[in-house]
Each structure stands twice: as C-alpha cells, then as structure tokens.
Structure 1
C-alpha cells in the first residue's frame, strides 16, 4: 500500500498521518480501496486502486477524492450536492452504489461500483474507507452466488474484512479487541457471538457471549466463565476448533447425543440457553498458536449458515487471532516493564520531622517504563538527599539509563561531602564517559533541620522544571534559583547552588515535565495550572494533596508522558 505514516504536504496542502490504517487493511482487499480523512482528502490508497485509476499514490494522496475522481455519466465534474457518496460521507454512515463513474488518468470515464464505510477507533482520526471495482475487475471468484445463500455481496464482504483489520489492529487491549470483533459480526452476520479463549496456562475461558437485542448488544455473563479442558481426540466442532483443526457448521442436534467431554456438555447448555438453530465455529489462531474459537450463531434469523459462509468467518477469526496475539504480547511486555519500574524506583526513607510521599504515573501508550525517577536517601552528615530526574526516552533503555544515573548519584552524594552543584558536576562528567545516557535533567537537593521548626533546602537544578513551594496559607511560588544546564550538554560551566528555608506547614513539590506538559497547552500554561491547583490544595493532608494534584493537573485521559512526583511537608509545630 502506498500511504503516509507521518503526514506531510502535497502541493502545499497538509496531509494527515495515516498510521492508524495498517497497510494490510487496504492491500487485503481484492478491489480498489482508499481512505479519506474527515475533510474528504485521500490519505492512503492500495495498489489495486492505483492500477484501476491509472494514477500513482503521489497523484492521489492529499487531494480531495470527490473533486479528483467523481464524474457524471457525461464525464463532467459531479456537483457535490448530487453526490450520494459525499452525502453518506458527511452523515458518517455506510452506503453503496452499483453504477457510478470515476475519472481515469488518461481522461477516459471509468464505470465503477462502490461502497463506503466510516471507521476510526480509539485515538485514531476519524476516516472513511472507499472500496470500488469496475465491471472488468470484478472478483476472480466467479459470478456472485444467489442472495439467499450469501446475504452479503462480495463488495460488502471485502469491506467488512478491511474494517475488521483496521479496527482490530488499532488497539492493543484484549478486551477492547473482543468488543470490536463482536460489534463487527453482530448483527451483521449473526444473532449471537461467542468467543472462547485459551489462556497462557492452557485453560479455556468463555470470554464473550453476546446477543443482538433490539439494536443493542447484550452480554450474557451467566454463560461466560471457565470451561473444561480441550479433549485431545474429540471430533466435536468446538473441540476441533480449539485444537486448530478445522472450521465447522453445527447446530443443537450435534450435541444431543451422549457428551464425550465437559466441553460438549457446555455446548449443549449454550444451545439450550440461546436458542441458536445454526452456528459456525472457526479457530482463532496466530502464526504461533491457537488462541481460541469464534462461534457465530443464528436464532431469530431463520437462514442457517451455509458452507460458503465459512471462508469469511475463518478470515475474520484469523485477523482476530493476529490482533489478540499482538495485544497479549504487548500486555505481557507492559507487565514486565511495570514490574521492572517498580523495582527500579526506591522505597522512601522515614525522615523524623518531615512528611514525604511519592507517585509515579507511566505513560499509558508507552511500554509502562521510562526515564522519569525520584529518590530520597539519608546522607552521612545527617541531612537527607532529594532527587528528581528525567533521562531522555520512554523505553527500557531509558529506564536502564535512569538506574545508572540514580545509583551513581547516590554513590557521589554519600562519599563526597560537597555542595549539590559539585555532586552534579561530578555526575555529569561521569555519565558522559561510562554510561549510554545522552541527556537528562534533574534536581539534586539536601534538606536538613534548621532553627524554630524550619528546614533548610539547598539544591542545584540541571535543566529541570523548578521546584514548587507552597506555604500553609496557600502562597505558591517556583524556586527558580540554582538553575543550570542539563546533563550531557558537554558545556564546562560551573553549576549554581541555591538555598531556601521551608517554614512549618509548607509543602515542597518536585516533579517531572510530564506533569506540566501536554497536548493543547504551552509549558507556561502547565506551570500556572500546577501552581494554582497546588495552592488550592495546600490545606489537604499530604497524601490527599498529592493524589488530588495529580488528578487535577494530569488527568488519566490526558497523560501521554511519564510523571514522577516527590512531595514533602514540614509539619506545623
């Protein structure tokens, strides 16, 4: 497929990214296909469309599809008000036409049939898929079968497969993938959809039983849950599918005899409870393993499944298998990364006379591990070291670099009785020579008790967002002194130190840039927002203060970066 993964311009016009549309989603279609964005501009096109239109992708992508292609039977530009495709496009609904015309690159008129369907799920930009063919390019499968044997036309089937690929490959969450799969097949193909999954411990779990009722998809949780093990030799349809042997058409009569396994008992219960008179069962498998089985059943629909229905259901189940396998691998990676991150981030020490709490929020779309970190540890002179930092990157390599920086900082801070600036200078020089860390920001500070219930904070800032100090009365200000260049800049400039007194009842917040940076607003806006909410929450207990601050400033649905936060409070006397 020809398309753009990162956006760009065509003839000076901005072209949105098409990364939400996997190449396989268009190339798997046996007809011409292209994708348009919410403005109607082409953002991706398959090779078959290039061939039929006589135009390379570069002459299609970025242009308004209607203006470039759609013509009247006389070869004139079709007015937009007379275009059924455009009306359906703006209404966001599927549509099709058996007779229409596109402009070929050589100036001739190209008779076509077309179908469009909207899609765009999760974070993907909304789009519309257009599938078309010419009378000469109609499917190699021969003449279409009778409508009674195949309710969906060939064009509808290919569009459904393309939509299946697009929707299932745009999520890495197993539950969401199953929800989308069910939405694609019910009620379009069946009244009932059942998904049995094989877990990583080789146990079978009936994960989905859904019925179409009054235009809604209703889950039947009473029919879901654990299933008996897969029998090795059973010829029964579900058992064969769960072994990856074959797809099968079946019905309640198949399970009326003496059951040969516990799964056969559960299948009889399923048919009795649902009233399905016909079902098609296909394995869900990836290239590595059998992941489960998809069962589509008909109860209210009087037409039984026919053998010609199996290839479509098998194809959808196969695409579901690839998507579920990818989602499982991703979730396994996230779990490993999350465990690693939890072990890398330290436990906070208890400091008499101070309250302290920490939080770490991983970016939801990353690998659940990154370069953001916090630290606090006692020093030999009875003071306490505080640190917050961010190593460039959002992956395991960044986490490994973070661990190196943190451990080296601890060693220097403990062994060298020097101001924070000198400790960070030593650290900067060392990481350039003995680590793979390219750049990092950090604040390194010491805090120790002073007179009259105050605490003295001394720090140096290596290119990091400034600490925020909030008084007990809600006066909030950033500590902008002591600011120097980030680590890894290779600039031989002395680093500054700064000092401040923390009064009883005051709260100090150290944080990483993920708390104040975000889509849709500037860094200054993020800083103002943090200061405003911190001031409003100053009266809260420290744990509540921290949780509410994160919830208000960095809501979960707007978190595209890691966030590390360390907050401490000087108790009132």
Structure 2
C-alpha cells in the first residue's frame, strides 16, 4: 500500500494548478510521498507539524503519533538509546541561526525503542517572508554504514594478508640455503621479532632424548638476556621429554601461557619454556614443530608481551607454515652434509697415498670444484713400477661430479695397470691407454701427464714423460728458476682411437737438477672464468719461483699450501702433485745421512690406505716360550 501524506494541509486556491492541470498542492504532496527519504517539518518551537510516509516507515511511528510532539524529546537519541541533551542537539538550531545544516552522526529512536543511524539535512522554512519553522530530511544510514564498515574490515584484512605475504616472501628468501643452518635460523628470528612476537626461540632435538639444544633466541626488549639463553637444556624429566617429542613430531602448534608455566611446576613444558617467560617476559606464546614428513628437528616458539594480543588462529597457521619451511631447510642441510660426507669419503678412497722413497719427498693436494659435492674428475697418482722407477701421473676427466669421479677411477686404474705390466716408454703406455679407454670404457676424453723419474739413488735424475693435452709440468730449481716442460705433447686420451686419427705421443726427456722441484697440476689451478690460462700459468710460475727462493727450509707440503693460498683457485677442481729431489749424492750407496721426516700424513687420501707398491711390515714372530697369561 502506498503511504499517504498526513499533516496540516493548505487550502487549495482555485486556478492554482501546474502546467498539466494538476493542483500544485497535490503535486507537492506526491513528491513528498515518493521522495524515498523521511521528511519532518517543525514549527519555530521544534514541534512536528507534518510527517511524510517515508518518515513513518523509517521510524515505525504514525504521523498522528508524532504530529504536535517535540521532535527532539520524541526522537533524538544516542546510539545506545539514551537521551541527547537539548543543548547538544545539532538538528534543532533556531531557524534564524543557520540557513542549512547536515550530518551523519545522529540517531533517531523507533517506536520499538531501537535506534536508527541517519544521514540528515535541515533547511529553514519561510512563509510570507517570515521564518516559519524547519524541514528535516533524513535517510537510514545503517545500510551505508554496514557497507562502509564491511569495506573497512575487508581492507584491513587485505592489508594484514598482504603484510603476511610479504613476510612469507622475506622468510622464503632467508631460508634459501646460502649459508649454514644456524645463520639461517638467526636471520629468520630477525624477521619474526617483532613482526609476529616480542621474542622467539628455536630448540633443536639432537639424538640424545634427554637434551634439547637452544640454538637461537631473539628478543626486541631484552636482547642481552636472549643471548644468554642459548645453549643445551639437559636432564629433561620424562614428562618434558614426552611433551617435546609429541610436539616436535606432530603437525599442530601448541599455545603456551605464562600463568600456567610460571605457577604449575607439573606442566610438561615448564622445564623447557618457563625460563623464556621468566627472563624475556610475556603472557602467551605459540610453539610450532620444525619437521618434515619423515623427520622431526625441533621447535620454534614465538612469544607475545605487554599489550600485544595473543596470537590469532590465522597467525598460528602462519607460524605453523613457517615451521614446515624451516623443517625443510634443516632436512636439506642434513641431506647435503650426508652427501658431502659420502662424497668426501669416496674421493679420499679414490685418491692415492704417496710413497716416500728414500730421500725423495712428495706432497699432493686436491680441491673440489665449488659447485661440486667434493668430488670430480681430477686426480694425481704416484707409485713404484716393477723396474723400481717412480711413476708420476696428473690427469683430468671431463666433469665435476660422481660420474666424473667414477670415470676418473677407471682411467687411473687402467693407466696404473698398463704402466706396471709393460716396461715400455711412456709413449707406448699412453697409446695402450687410449685404445683401452676407447674400447672398454664409456669415460669421456681425459688429459693426462704420465712421467717416469729415472736415475740411480743419489742422482743424477731424469724425467721421461708424455703429455696428452694437459698443462705442462713446471720445473723449479733451487735458486728459484722456473721453466715449463713443453715437450711430449700429443692428443687427449679418447680422441685418437675414437676418431681413427693415428696420432702419437712423442717421448720427452729432461734432466732434473739436484734439490729441484717438479710441479704437476690440473687446469683448475691456472684457469677460471676471471683468469685466462695464459695469465694463470704466468702467475703460477712467478709465485713458485718466489716461494722457492724464500722458503729454503720449508717442506714440500708447506710449499704446496703457500702456493695454493697465493693462487687462490676458484670454480674448478684442482689436483696438485709436487716432487722434491734431494741434494746430489744424498741417498747414494755409502751415504749415511738420515732421510727427511715422513710426510705421508699430509696426503688428502684416506689415511688408512697404504701407498701402492709399499711393502707391508713383516709380521712379528711370537716367542713360543712367552706366557700369554702374563
């Protein structure tokens, strides 16, 4: 039913009609009836003189009930329904004080006692040139206010979500394993405090079940106290061990409260977390597991202090997600170290212990590529041949991984077997190796220097060698003179036989002066992305000469270490083999000088392995009269 206009009516004058013949008074009433807003007219004293249908609808009151009533006393209220003092009424200003006013922070009371927020405007009424009252026009603002509040809530939620996404993005960047796990955890806590709490701690569960290691603690209010809390938490009682195991192995975070932990000694987390509340303060905390599906690593705890509210469910879910991410980082670090240990053990098994023969001394070093798992295709070798001659090998198989190391072992063992079985010049040994690698192995091409150190004990000595595409050996004399041994060059192993080129390796010979040093190395020593090989070889020659002049009393091991420190190779595998000859006549028949100290402990090979060709100690013969009971 269409609401009807009620209130005082003016008498219609004859002939006073609109352009379409409708009386102006009827037209005005139709406008007020269909305006879609509440309209009240007030006399100069503030009493209601007319009410339109929309006002009746919005206020739940009839025009008859409202007409003649004081509008302020009847309708104007605060949001809670209490009366607004008359002197504070913003809609009741006398007509002569303000031509028009508007606002949106007022409430009118419905007939049922509830209040409705309104948007309102007042305009003075003029009749026959005099101020005759006031018109109040108002709308129900509740729908608009709900929409605005909802939009504000959505905006706030979006801002919160955006902040959390930024935090997760920063945390994901921090958790990229570019450093040790302990450093990563410390950087993580820098992001969590004070963003998600005023303090945070990470506890790691080692293999011992009665120990918890607090590896990192951070507090925005008490940084010095936080640092003092790091360290092992030992002798955990059985309830604490069970609680930690249950939390670390579960999927859900746990809420902790200071009231419980500080006053209930029986609480299972009191043994592990009470000290955090005692030293760092706070009222609540959330403990989340650091784990993967297969393994548990520890607990992350984030605490709230002061006026900060307890963590919401959304914040707990965020912390749980962070805990899973940290668990993955710790799992990856564990796997990396396990693989590194396996790779290092494998490499040390593949590398050869060095024989120390008479007064000749050797040293070797191996540095894996920075991007590899401590293994690669570079190798060195030194062993006594069946004719008593010392054989030296330096080589490099393509690759920087376990596959390259496996191929290296194939090539190394083939060369060692061929050199032992055939007392032939190095050129023929290299030809046999090329044929064997090509026809019996899937190893890629390799570069190799194979050399024999020939000569009687006490000297003179001669180097007899061939070079299959490898950087040339460096000869360093006693006075620091240096020279690359460029002879003996031929194709890479795996090239001539594969391509049926029929190429050969020419034998080369060079006299080795007494007290000189021979240096065999792989290309990683002299070449990198930032250093071309020509420049690297020039630097190697310079540093080796300088060290030979300065380090007269140094061992060959100390020489290798200092040379590596000066060259600082980067990016590729590096194998280094150095041989130092004694002075002329030292070690010859009749010489009584003792040999230099054994330096085999410096070899990068596994210390439990014996050098190839070394003779085993004769077993001790037991005295049959010896009494075992003694």
Give the alignment's TM-score, normalised by structure 1: 0.68
Of 554, 571, 590, the residue aligned with 1:560 is: 571
Choose which of 530, 542, 565 in structure 2 pairs with 1:551: 565
- Structure 1 residues 454-502: Cα deviation after superposition (integer angstroms, max 9, x where no partner): 3211111111111111111111121111111111112420111111111
Alignment of 1:361-510 (within 5 A): 361-449=367-455, 453-489=459-495, 490=498, 491-510=501-520
Distance between the aligned counterparts of 1:145 and 1:272, measured in 2?
Answer: 38
CA change 1:219–1:165 in 2 (3 A) is same
Q: Which runs of 5+ in 2 are unaligned?
A: 1-149, 585-630
Counterpart among 324, 335, 338 of residue 318 in structure 1: 324
CA contact (8 A) 1:450 1:456 kept: no
> Residue 398 of structure 1 aligns to a residue in which SS?
helix
Tell me how far 1:452 sits from its aligned partner.
7.0
SS of the counterpart of 2:194? coil
Change (3 A) 1:282 1:448: same
CA contact (8 A) 2:471 2:521 kept: yes
Q: 1:528 aligns with which of 528, 534, 538?
A: 538
C-alpha separation in 2, matches of 1:269 and 1:488? 67
Deviations 1:111-156 (A, max 9, x none): xxxxxxxxxxxxxxxxxxxxxxxxxxxxxx9975797xx9972212
Q: Do the aligned partners of 1:193 and 1:208 also contact (CA within 8 Å) in 2?
A: no
- Which segment drifts farther, 490-499 or 369-378? 490-499
Q: In 2, are the aligned partners of 1:362 and 1:561 still within 8 Å (CA)?
A: yes
- Residues 539-566 of structure 1 show CA distances to partners (whole Å, capped at 9, x for unaligned) of 42212111011111125xxx32221111
Distance 2:472 2:282 in 1: 65
The 3 A distance-change label for structure 1 pair 229 and 436 is farther
Contact 2:363 / 2:579 at 8 angstroms: preserved in 1?
A: yes
Determine whether 1:253 maps to 2:237.
no
Residue-by-residue CA offset, 1:355-397 (whole Å, 9 max, x unaligned): 1111111223311111111110001111101111111111111
Question: How far apart are residue 170 of structure 1 and its match?
Answer: 4.4
2:353 is the counterpart of 1:352: no
Aligned length: 426
Choose the corresponding residue for 2:218, options 205, 211, 223.
211
Match of 2:171 in 1: 164
Aligned mates of 1:321, 1:178 — CA distance in 2: 11
TM-superposed deviation, 1:337: 0.5
CA distance, structure 1, for counterparts of residue 427 and residue 212 of structure 2: 58
Mapped to 2, the partners of 1:151 and 1:209 lie a distance apart of 32
Q: Say whether the 8 Å CA contact 1:227–1:266 is kept in structure 2.
A: no
Compute the displacement of 1:229 (Å): 6.8
Are the structure 2 counterparts of residues 448 and 205 from structure 1 closer, same or farther at C-alpha, using a change threshold of 3 Å?
A: farther
- What SS does structure 2 have at the residue aligned with 1:442? strand
Shift of 1:287: 3.1
Alpha carbons 1:291, 1:321 under 8 Å: kept: yes
Does the 8 Å CA contact 1:481/1:498 hold for their aligned counterparts?
yes
- Structure 2 residue aligned with 1:571: 582
Which residue of 1 is the match for residue 312 of structure 2? 306
Secondary structure of the equivalent of 2:409? Answer: helix
Match of 1:512 among 522, 525, 547: 522
From the superposition, tell whether residues 528 and 303 of structure 1 become closer, same or farther in structure 2 (CA, over 3 Å). farther
Structure showing greater Rg: 2
Q: Secondary structure of the residue that 1:187 maps to in structure 2?
A: helix
